Amino acid sequence: MSVQRNRLDPESREPLEGLLQAIPGGFNAIEDLDKRRAVVGQLLVEPELDQRVTMEDRLIPGPTGEQLVRIYRPVVNKEPMPALINIHGGGMVLGSVQGDAATAQMLAAESGAIVFSIDYRKAPENPYPAAVNDCFSASQWVFENAKDLGIDANNIGIYGGSAGGGLALAVCLMARDQSGMKFKYMMPIYPMIDDRNQTQSTHDVTEVGIWDRAGNIEAWGLYLGGEPADGYAAPARMEDLANLPPAYIDVGEMDAFRDEDAEFALRLIKAGVPCEFRIYPGAYHASEVFAPEAALSRRIWAGRLEALRRFIAS
């Protein structure tokens, strides 16, 4: 066992060790991207629908054609309802709304908000700015159709994990700079936000097996397609962080994104943006996804759901 994996929460480490026995080096070690996508699709199996929510797939107008939005609506509801836009992770190259279904269903069932899970184009076939444009366009559709969707346009938040967290931040920055969309809050979870890979944690986290330094460098290269990054591609590069929605951010101690996320949270606070930031000792990148039954994972989710309910009620 590597020294780095020795530092992980033991309960959360067990399923990771099983994964790494089946896939030595982790899924980022699979060089063929199509095969890697297939393996991730097998790992993130869509669960049965939570009986507390209904699900609807809807095709909406996107920047280059129709775009999929999956809508999870709590069975117990009273319109107008709060809404939450959810953006899945996957390093801008992997993932799907189907693979993120467990998270989206939980968010809807536990918060009482209608959750809109956004599908978006992936790199390298569609490099930046395709993904952020898709997420921004779908968010605009939610705001513009709030009345018909039965939601309160003044109570819409945005949530995303990993690459989805970076995209959520990018959408909020674009909304601030380019449109009248007013998100009530944002919840970028261990967001992928800095293409430079210069922090200590990106150098330290190289042997955990889930989104280590090498995989992150590869993903940014595919996403940017050789072009320089701006603040909408890599939000850590954005100089002005003022006038963004209140934020909740969490990240694991053994996550390569730890330091860039901590620095970003502090910059938000210095810019006058209310921000709750949590670092979880022993957690690795997406450990609550791979070890959902671990006590640490339950604690991570309890913190998020408490913050989400508080945002909605405020």
pLDDT over 60 (residue 1): no
Residue with the larger pLDDT of the pair 96 and 24: 96
How sure is the predictor about 153, in pLDDT bands with cuts at 50, 70 and 90?
very high
pLDDT value, residue 182: 97
Q: Name the nearest CA neighbour of 154 among 181, 135, 177.
A: 181
DSSP letters for 229-290: P-TTTSGGG-S--TTPPPEEEEEEEE-TTHHHHHHHHHHHHHTT--EEEEEEEEEETTHHHH
pLDDT value, residue 2: 66
How sure is the predictor about 79, in pLDDT bands with cuts at 50, 70 and 90?
confident
pLDDT value, residue 119: 98
Domains of the chain, first to last: 3-313 (3.40.50.1820)
Q: What is the pLDDT of residues 279-300, one digit of tens each?
A: 999 999 999 999 999 999 999 9
DSSP code, position 83: E
pLDDT over 90 (residue 273): yes
